[in-house]
Amino acid sequence: MTLLWIPLLSLLGSLLASFTGKLSRNQSAAVTAIMPIICLALVISMAPQVLAGETLYASLPWIPELGVNLSFRLDGLSLLFCILILGIGLLIILYARYYLSANDSMPKLYAYLMLFMTAMLGIVTANNIIQMWFFWELTSVSSFLLISYWWYNPEARKGARMALAITGAGGLALLAGLVLLGQLVGSYELDVILQSGELVKSSEWYPLILVLVLLGAFTKSAQFPFHFWLPHAMAAPTPVSAYLHSATMVKAGIFLLARFYPALAGTELWFIIVGVTGLTTLLVGAYIALFKHDLKGLLAYSTISHLGLITLLLGLDTQLATVAAIFHIINHATFKASLFMATGIIDHETGTRDMRKLNGMWRYMPYTATLAMVAAASMAGVPLLNGFLSKEMFFAETLHQQMLGSMSWLIPVLATVAGALSVAYSARFIHDVFFNGEPKDLPKQPHEAPRYMRVPIEILVTLCVLVGLFPAFVVDPLLTVASHAVLGAEAPDYHLAIWHGFNLPLLMSAVAVAGGLFIYSQRKYLFQFQASLPSVSAKKAFDASIQRVVVWSREQILRIENGSLQRYVFILLLSTLVVAGLPLFEMHTLAGATGLSEIDAHNAIGAALLMIGALATLIWHRSRMIALILVSVVGLMTSVAFTRFSAPDLALTQLTVEVVTVMLLMLALFFLPQRTPKESSSLRILRDLGVSSAIGIVVGSICYALLTRPQESISQFFIGNAKTGGGGTNVVNVILVDFRGFDTLGEITVLGIAALGIYKLLLNLPLFMPASDSEGRPWARERHPLLLASISQSLLPLAIMVSVYIFLRGHNLPGGGFIAGLVTSIAFILQYMANGSNWIRARMDINYRKVIASGLAIATLSGIGSWLFGRNFLTSWFDYFDIPLVGKTELASAMIFDLGVYLTVVGATLMILASLGKLTAETPKEKVNL
Amino acid sequence: MLENVLLMVFAMIGVSLMLNLWRLIVGPSVPDRILALDTMYINTIALIILYGIGMQTQIYFEAALLIAMLGFVSTVAVCKYLLRGDIIE
Amino acid sequence: MELLYASCVGLLVACGIYLILRARTFPVVLGLTMLSYAVNLFLFSSGRLKINQAPVLGQSASYADPLPQALVLTAIVIGFAMTAFVVILAIRGRADLGNDHVDGQPRASRATKGSK
Amino acid sequence: MQHLITLPVLLPLLAGIILLLPPCGKNLVLRRWVATFMALFTLVASTLLLTTILGSGPLVYAIGEWQPPFGIVLYADPLAVALCILTSFLSLVTIVYASRGDDKAGSFFHPLAHFLLMGVNGAFLTGDLFNLFVFFEVLLIASYALLMHKKDKHTTKAALHYVILNLVGSSIFLIALGVLYGVLGTLNMADMAVKVALLQGDDIYLAKIGGLLLLIVFALKAALLPLHLWLPATYGRAMPVIAAQFAIMTKVGVYAIMRVFTMIFGEQAGELSGIASTWLWPLALVTLVVGAVGVLAAEDLRRLSANLVIVSVGTLIAMVALNNEQATAVAIYYLIHSTIACAAMFLVADMIALQRGKVQDRLVNSRGVAQPKLLGFCFVFAAIALAGLPPLSGFVAKLWLLDASYGAQVAWVFWPIYLLASLATLVALSRAGTSLFWHDHPNQDEQFEDNVYAGKRRTWALVLILAVPLMMTVFAAPLSEMSNQAAAALHNSQVAIDTVFALAKEQ
Amino acid sequence: MTEWLISALLILGGLFILIGSIGLVKMPDFFMRLHGPTKATTLGMALLLIAANVFFSVENGVINIKEILISIFLLITAPITGYMLIKSAIHHELKAKDGTKGMDNIEDD
Amino acid sequence: MRLQARYKWLPTPFRSILLFAVWLLLNNSVSAGHLILGAVLAIVIPLVIAPFRTAQPLILRPGLATKQLFIVLWDIITANVEVAFKILAPTKRLRPGFIKVPLDLEHELPITMLASTVSLTPGTVSAEVYPIPESLPKGEVPTQRFLLIHVLDLDDEQALIETIKRRYEAPLKEIFQC
Ligand code: NA
Ligand code: NA
């Protein structure tokens, strides 16, 4: 289980680093280094077993439902990468200590760096592909943070965003590929997948899986045509670039190719895609690198090119090529990291990375120059250095394949060309920076870097040399196990040596070196030629395309969400029409089994009034007052319909609600224009008429279909139990306060909330108050007509009496708390109208909020009360008592509930009207209780 | 006999309601329409009472009572609106 | 009778919806009110039409389905609360937006504003 | 304990009442504490309820002891209760957050927040279709009032649209109820499930109309295309702390779709089984696309978050449309994740807007925020969760989504759309983050007013809500197991029917 | 006998209501239209309600005069309705029939 | 004239009696229970809403009030028959007009009762009470009030004024002792 500690400790390291803000820079670096050192020690402690051919495992269950576990493995490939990640990581920590200026936050960089390290360690040690993806995406996130470390630099922001977008997109493709792969194989465990190569490759899904996985790998390792994010990621601090673009981030893609080699490689498709991509990247990268004036730009494209080389190697159809690929991974990591760090020093000490300004640095920093030159020579593939070895293996392997059929000879030729270009840009790196005359306008006076800043480079360059000189001794064991891990047991025999005799690869090397030097010597013409080409800025193109997408999106969204309610409602109605209308056509007959009953005069008159009223409202709707009066007719007829069809309670409710609603509408109309302007085009009117009549027909048809059908319902239960179980004879009321009292509780809550909401809406509302009516007539002066004021006083007790009557009888006869509440409210509204709100307020200082809350409280507590008797919420209780003189009287808990309803209704209705009244009251400043 | 009488009276009320509606729609002034509506309220009470007699039930009495009360209130409200605009000052 | 009833419901729905599709708050509110009449009548009809069978025990031999009546009652109350809110919201809209268009500004003025 | 199931509804109701009465009515400090603790109690009660039913199976509670199908029952299965927990938690967080001062922007914030909670929890727990309507209205009216908490003309316009659309929606709901009751003669959902299977002849089509009308209503609430148009403005314009509460409301629509179309129109429904799927699938995909386009188009962080809500709805509905247990299980996990993440983003957006002054949360380069570390961390956390990147719950959800949809015939269109939408989210969020937090002038010393700082309460709220995505990754195993259990309970409508009617037999 | 009484009351009541409504339609100006509904209709209603009282008293075997409440109510409110209506008509300066006397009695409101 | 009732718990005795009667009417019952409940309500309700009452003269001559009630009822019937014929007859013959009746009454309730009576009886509708308070300087109390009446068929203006004052206003003065 030691294995588990590696990512965990690294993660801890990230946390640890983030807390070093108060420490000195040295301490901060030292504390940060603790965890990687421990990790490295752990890795090394496990290395002997791995080198002996074992694979170590550790696993914790995580989401077993999904087949996702925290599952780790350490095989040769993982070991190799762990060492690279941790080793170079430690050097970077040291280097960054000196690189960062006093203004830059150390803990932040270290924390991000360690987070990134965790992610990388996670990828390379994962034994579950989902877990691998988990860490894969974590590298995207943490590299985003690292690249944007200097966030106030727009280049850094854009570079980070671009990197995240490209690698993020690749990550999504990869996820799709991995899930497909996992589903195909039946497991997300790497072991299983690696052993199912045949199954995978023979599956019809294989091409898709391959393409998706490769998209992930290629975006991450900056393969053409996804390479363009990498140079822009150079806006990061150099330690970050050194780490991300030598040994880690970009190598993650390569690692992925190597990791899935047993499962995915070996097919023609693999070789075509991987090989051609690698080759293209190799050439394109090397070519562009030559023209970069920015040192880091040169290194960036060189990185792209070398990654292309490794990819091409992995794509070549020989096992030795794969070995070479792994070897080059190591070599590239070492020389590229040192070159980046050297560049960092130059940048740090001179203030620029522009090779047109940098000249003759040899004199100012000979030590750094030496180190850089050795590393650059390794990059160019100069013998005795590690770069030479792997490059020669590469040349050799290009000769042994038939990837392009009859055109296969092109590969070694192009490889040589790429080699030459690589020599050329390496030569430029050396000559143009360290020699080539005197520096021009350097921002700083150059001098040698601090001692310890050079140490990491020294170590790496030493490694370059050691590997170059004693490959078999230094890297052979590691390379062997790593190759085993990639190729399986049948890894080929090879031996690493400096000298293989005079052979074709050596010739290619020689040609490359000579050609490279020649190219460099003729650079003037090349630069001129390049300058004459139209320049394509990847960043601009990327930004522009993103911008184009955003602009397009905005256009589309504006087109869809045009802010027109009429459209929104129309869409809603149209959807309704479609879903409700289509099944109607499927019906055989609309009418059901019950026959029609005849139309009597009563119904005919009612219907005629209702329909004429409705149509008249429609026709006169632009004269709002008239429309309002006409709507009252419709409302009145609706309640008549309820009386007609045996629903007295409904009729009462409809009537009372109708009056209050009309009054509210009138209150509203006071603040609104009196006429609706004619705005709709006749086409719009036709459209609206069409859709509304269509819906009307559909709803009417459904209604007709229902009415003509026999019905079986649960209602017999209510009729049967209303008296015996609910203690009342008005079944509707018993349903409301008992059988379905819960609905009623919700309903009065709605009413209460509405009142609160309306209060909110009207608070401090600046209102436009017309001084005259729509025809310009000034308002009548008399506020409170004498007769009305007088009669309304007499009516008040009468109305209260009626509401008491309606309340008390509700349980047994039509009526109840709600209607009673509205009658009471209307009685008070009449007082408001007759005498004004100030008059009322002076006489009744009731806080309506409290009335509402008390009503709700009474209703709720009457329900909760049944808990005391061990019964369910809202269980009703009633009994009959013999009261002297009065006789047998029924008392029911439902009455208490109904009282709650009554109070809520009164409170809510009066709160609404009082809020409105308050708007225009003469003394608005006065504090009002509501 | 009562049945026929009811039908007859019923016809009268029906005609009245139609006349009310006619005045309501034709106007010409808003007070005219309000007057028509108010009359309509009252005629509706008649309709409901007749219905009650016809069905021999008093269960709709409260509906009639409320129409009487509420019709008054809403007529007053509309008049107040015409006079002052603001019905609750 | 059923056909007549259904026609009334259909007509109310149509009128209500037509008004809801208007551009000013007041007709929309009127439309909503009318639509809620229609919907209440519709919901009520799910218990079928019974004459003189009010579900009050002891008043007749058989009873209309009381459940839809209770449901409609609840719906009426809720509809009232909602209408009240939307009416006040319409006032608020006029005060905040300066006009009573449902979108806060009439189409014509929006066009001129867009061209600026 | 017998009444535990009522508490997620009754506690917020009581809280709302208490908060309106003395002594809370006039004492803001007291109101804050009471509101916070009542939300906490609701959360605890819901959690207890979940542990109970995970052990004993779904619970039924007959309100008023009227046996089903006659009375109203509360039905608690793992899905419903998990969502109650989610809602209560969200309320708790927003109440704590708002207690820093947002609650003073208008009246009645705390009671309304609790009424909203009551409505949502009621909608989750009820086993009765009409009662569902009632709770929908409770939550809607509370949301209307909350939406207008802060006075601003854009909010008013958004509210007008939102309210009017929903009023039409409520009418459609009632028509649907009328049709279903007219055909089935019952309102209890379990009983409806039984009756639906027995329908014959043309009645089937009537029931179908009823079902599809319900679908329209729920789709409107869920903001499924083309009925989503109200959402961006509404959520984008509401006060963010309220938008955060609203994050659950679209999910109520999704929940209702899940409940109704797997229970009533579930597998037992014969000809009517799965009537929604044919509509849901394409609409879900279009929703996903339009949501993603909206995410890219957003010009401020709140709009962006609002569009993320749409994306999440599209994703959820796609899972619902797959109509199998595994997909439902993902939907449940994803629902919780996306609600929390979107809500968190609204809160972060609020803080950013507050601290950036005039430009608010518009995605332009401007001055920095007062607390870059805190807000930056919160933003990154929320963004990672929303973009579905490790190590937060979005990653688990994304994986599981792909896993669950693998093998479905429609995966070949769902996968690319879903992944592209994820990419759009990622790109948009990274653009948003870089323009909100990073600007060209790092060392400007700016003066910030004291009240823009997060303070203890807001920080606590942010920490609380942002801990969830992390916890959901760490405890992905038990959560996925719970989701599976919940999905199984939802899909096995026979169990629900039996549970409900076992109660009838007892009495 | 009672049936005759009821029938007579009903027909008379109906007639008055009808006449009231005819007045509403027939009269030439608003002020004159007002007379029909405020008077004839009120009386018609009273007659109808008395008919109902008689009917239900006979029907139920107990004296029943609750319908008279409606009548009382109408008697109280009808004058106020008329007053409010005529006030608003004056406010709206509705034209009275040509030759209406005493127009100068009307003051500004 | 008296504005305050004798007992504080019964501020408006006549109104309480009316309420009591209304209760019995509503319930159509004279059972003990309803008598008690009605009595309680008839006392409690006026007490509860007492704040909404502005002081008005009380009825001090109940006998006369009853007599007057029947007179008015009779007038209503005759008036209605009369109006019915006028409606059915050709409208051209009608001679409408407005008249202004100077009032001796001062308090609102009696004025209201007079106006109501006038509205319910022969061809007249009360239109307005002049002067309106808003037309007077602030705080001033009107000395002389007028009742504006619309007459459907005006024959002799003075005679009509005379009839109204004699037949309706005088008894009201007597009843309220004002
Ligand atoms: Na140079
Ligand atoms: Na007012």
pLDDT in tens, A312-337: 999 987 888 999 999 999 999 999 99
CA of A831 to the centre of ligand 2 (A): 13
Tell me which residue of A602, C73, C54, E55 sits closest to B60, measured CA to CA: C54
CA of A908 to the centre of ligand 2 (A): 17
Contacts of B10 in chain A (CB under 8 A): 601-602
**A581 C-alpha to center of ligand 1: Å?**
78
**Given pLDDT bands bounded at 50, 70 and 90, which one contains residue A201?**
very high
Let me know: does C83 contact C36? Beta carbons within 8 Å: yes
Cβ–Cβ under 8 Å, residues D437 and D372 = yes
Pairwise CB contact (< 8 Å): F87 & E29: no
CA separation, residue D29 to residues A850, D24, D150 (Å): 19, 8, 20
Region D135-148: what's the mean pLDDT? 95
Separation CA C92–CA C98 (nearest Å): 10
CB-based touch A/B (3+ pairs, under 8 A): yes
Q: What are phi and psi of A59, to 5 degrees?
A: -155, 145
User: What is the structure's pLDDT at A929?
Assistant: 41
Confidence class for position A589, pLDDT limits 50, 70, 90: confident
Tell the residue number behind the tokens 């509302």, with chain if given. Answer: A765
CA dist A788 and E80 (Å) reads: 6
Contact C/E (≥3 CB pairs under 8 Å):
no
pLDDT score of A489? 66
CB D350 within 8 A of CB D238: no
> What pLDDT does A930 receive?
44
The model's confidence at residue A921, banded by pLDDT at 50, 70 and 90, is: low
- How much is the average pLDDT of F29-56? 88
Which ligand approaches the C-alpha of residue A292 most closely? 1
Instruction: Kindly state the tokens that stand for A399.
Output: 């000769």
Residue A497 confidence (pLDDT) above 80: no
Dist CA B44 CA B66 (whole Å):
11
Q: If you average pLDDT over residues D123-151, what whole number do you get? A: 95
pLDDT digits (tens, 9 = 90+) for A350-376: 989 999 888 888 989 999 999 999 999
Q: Is the pLDDT of residue A234 over 50?
A: yes
Strands (E), chain F: 97-103, 124-130, 145-151
- Cβ–Cβ contact B15 with A under 8 A: no
pLDDT tens string F69-93:
999 999 988 888 888 888 898 888 8
Distance A289 CA to ligand 1 centre (A): 15
Alpha carbon distance F76, F49 (integer Å): 32
Return d(Cα A447, Cα D85) in angstroms, integer. 65
pLDDT at residue A538, rounded to an integer: 77
User: Which ligand is closest to the CA of A918, given by its number?
Assistant: 2
Q: A790 alpha carbon to ligand 2 midpoint, in Å?
A: 20
Ligand 1 center–CA A364 separation, angstroms: 14
Residue E72 C-alpha, separation from nearest chain A C-alpha, in angstroms: 11
**Separation CA E68–CA E49 (nearest Å):** 6
Return the ligand number nearest the Cα of A436.
1
Q: What is the pLDDT of residue A373?
A: 93
Ligand 2 center to residue A766 CA distance, Å? 13
Non-local (6+) Cβ contacts of D174 within 8 A are: C39, C40, C42, C43, C75, D133
What gap in Å lies between CA A705 and CA A714, rounded to an integer? 20
CA distance A338 to D376: 33
Q: What tokens were used for D198?
A: 């027995």
Residue D28 C-alpha to ligand 2 middle, in angstroms?
30
Establish whether the linkage from the previous residue to B28 is cis, with ω within 30° of 0: yes
Say if CB A917 and CB B89 are below 8 A apart: yes
Confidence of residue A885 (pLDDT cuts 50, 70, 90): confident
Q: What angle do CA D244, D250, D251 make, to 5 degrees?
A: 95
* pLDDT band (50, 70, 90) for residue C115: very low
Instruction: Tell me the C-alpha distance between D227 and A894, whole Å.
Output: 41
Cβ–Cβ contact A831 with F under 8 A: yes
Of the candidates D112, D227, D477, which has its C-beta nearest A64's C-beta? D477
Q: Flag whether pLDDT at B39 surpasses 60.
A: yes
Average pLDDT, integer, range D167-171 = 96
Average pLDDT along chain E: 90
The CA distance from A814 to A811, in Å, is 8
Phi then psi for A496, rounded to 5 degrees? -90, 130
Average pLDDT over residues B36-55: 93
Q: Which of D108, D114, D118, D138 is nearest to D25 (CA)?
A: D108
Ligand 1: centre distance to CA A47 (Å): 44
Min distance E107 CA to chain B CA atoms (Å):
15
Q: In this structure, which amino acid lies at residue D329?
A: A
Q: Which residues of F touch A787 (CB under 8 A)?
A: 111-112, 115-116, 126, 129
Interface test with D, best of A116, A118, A174, A572 (most D CBs within 10 A): A572
Question: Is beta strand A56-63 parallel, antiparallel or unpaired with respect to A68-74?
Answer: antiparallel
Q: How is residue E38 annotated by DSSP?
A: I
Q: Which residue has the higher pLDDT, D437 or A122?
A: A122
C45 closest CB neighbour out of A611, A706, A765: A706
Contacts B53 to E, Cβ<8 Å? 10, 51-52, 55
Task: Kindly indicate the confidence band of residue C110, based on its pLDDT and cuts at 50, 70 and 90.
Answer: low
The pLDDT of C13-25, averaged and rounded, is 95
- Do A60 and A230 touch, CB atoms closer than 8 A? no
Mean pLDDT of A640-663: 93
CA distance A628 to A631: 5
Q: What pLDDT does D424 receive?
A: 93
- Closest-CA distance, B39 to chain E, in angstroms, reads 6
The C-alpha of E24 sits at a distance from chain A's nearest C-alpha, in angstroms, of: 17
**The pLDDT value given to residue D88:** 97
Asked if A797 and F135 come within 8 Å (Cβ–Cβ), the reply is no
Q: A400-415 in b/e burial notation, b at 16+ Cβ within 10 A?
A: ebebeeeeeeebbebb
pLDDT of residue D445: 66
Distance CA D215, CA D227 (A): 11
Give the percent of chain C with pLDDT over 90.
Answer: 68
Could you count the other beta carbons within 10 Å of the beta carbon of residue B3? 8
Measured from the alpha carbon of residue A914, the closest ligand is: 2
The rounded Cα B72 to chain-centroid distance in angstroms is 10
Which pLDDT score, from 0 to 100, does residue A915 have?
83
Q: Is F140 on the interface with A (CB under 8 A)?
A: no
Residues of A in contact with F56 (CB under 8 A): 790, 793
How far is Cα C16 from Cα B89, in angstroms, rounded to an integer?
Answer: 31
Average of per-residue pLDDT across C86-109? 86
Tell me which residue in C40, C78, C100 faces A672 most closely, judged by beta carbons.
Answer: C100
For the ranges A401-410, D237-246, D250-259, D408-417, which has the lowest average pLDDT? A401-410
Structure confidence at residue C116 (pLDDT): 35
pLDDT tens profile D445-503: 677 888 888 889 999 999 999 999 999 999 999 999 999 999 999 988 888 889 888 88
pTM of the entire predicted model? 0.93
Position E62: which residue type? Answer: V
Provide the total of helices (H) and of strands (E) in chain A, helices listed first: 39, 4
CA distance A441 to D376: 39
The pLDDT value recorded for residue E104 is 86
Nearest Cα of chain F lies from the Cα of E1 at a distance, in angstroms, of 23
**Mean per-residue pLDDT, C28-40:** 95
User: Residue F136: pLDDT band by 50, 70, 90 thresholds?
Assistant: confident
pLDDT tens profile A672-698: 888 888 888 899 999 999 999 999 999
pLDDT at residue D119 is higher than 80? yes
DSSP per-residue string spanning A366-384: HHHHHHHHHHHHHHHT-TT
| Coil, helix or strand at residue D53 | helix
Contact A609 B7 (CB under 8 A): no
Closest CA to A284 of A308, A314, A300: A308
Counting residues of chain A whose pLDDT is more than 90, the rounded percentage is: 60
Q: What is the DSSP string of F64-95?
A: HHHHHHHHHHHHHHHHHHHHHHHHHS-GGG--
Name chain F's partners: 3 or more CB pairs within 8 A: A, E
* Residue A174: closest C-alpha in chain D: D419
DSSP A449: P
Q: Peptide bond preceding D390: is omega within 30 degrees of 0, i.e. cis?
A: no
| Cis status, amide bond into A225, omega within 30 of 0 | yes
- Residue F126's DSSP bridge partners are F149
Distance from CA of F51 to the nearest CA of A (A): 6
Distance CA B82, CA B75 (A): 11
SS3 of D378-422: the string is HHHHHHHHHHCCCCCHHHHHHHHHHHHHCCCCCHHHHHHHHHHHH
Q: How far is CA A184 from CA A209, D407, E57, in A?
A: 10, 10, 88
Q: Report chain D residues whose CB lies below 8 A from the CB of A18.
A: none
Q: Is A730 on the interface with C (CB under 8 A)?
A: yes
Q: Cβ separation of D160 and C102 shorter than 8 Å? A: yes
User: What contacts A543, CB < 8 A, 6 or more positions away?
Assistant: A158
Cα of first residue to Cα of last residue in chain C, in angstroms, is 59
C-alpha distances in Å from residue A513, one per residue of A375, A381, A398, A420, A507 = 16, 8, 17, 6, 10
What separation in Å is there between the alpha carbon of A833 and the centre of ligand 2? 9
> Which residues are paired to A365 by β-bridges?
none
**Can you say whether residue E43 is alpha, beta or left, with left for phi > 0 and alpha for psi between -120 and 50 degrees?**
alpha
Please answer whether residues A251 and A333 qualify as being in contact, where contact means their C-beta atoms are separated by less than 8 angstroms.
yes
Q: Is 80 exceeded by the pLDDT of residue A501?
A: no
For residue A73, what is the DSSP state? Answer: E
Specify the DSSP class assigned to residue A65.
G
Residue C51: list chain B partners with CB under 8 A: 55
The Cβ of residue A262 has, within 10 Å, a number of other Cβ atoms equal to 19
Q: Distance (Å, rounded) from C-alpha F97 to C-alpha F92?
A: 14
pLDDT (tens digit per residue) in A766-824: 776 788 887 888 888 888 898 999 899 889 999 999 999 999 988 889 889 999 999 99
Task: Decide if C21 contacts A569 (C-beta within 8 A).
Answer: yes
Element (H, E) at A887: strand A887-892
The pLDDT of residue A924: 43
User: pLDDT of D405-436, one tens digit each?
Assistant: 887 888 889 999 999 999 999 999 999 998 88
Tokens of A683: 């086409």
pLDDT at C113: 46
Residue from the list F22, F52, F116 with its beta carbon closest to the beta carbon of A801: F22
For position D442, what pLDDT does the model report? 64
Adjacent-strand bridge partners of D59: D76
pLDDT band at F143 (very low <50, low <70, confident <90, very high): confident
Record: contact C96-D153, CB cut-off 8 A: yes
| A838 Cα–ligand 2 center, Å | 10
Regarding predicted confidence, which is higher, A549 or A926?
A549
What was the pLDDT predicted at A928? 42
Q: What does the H/E/C string look like for F99-119?
A: EEEEECCCCHHHHHHHHHHHH
pLDDT above 50 (res A387) = yes
Q: Do D293 and A553 touch (CB under 8 A)?
A: yes
Q: What mean pLDDT, rounded, does chain A reach?
A: 90
Neighbours of C113 (CB within 10 A): 9
pLDDT for residue D308 is more than 80: yes
Percent of chain E with pLDDT over 70: 100
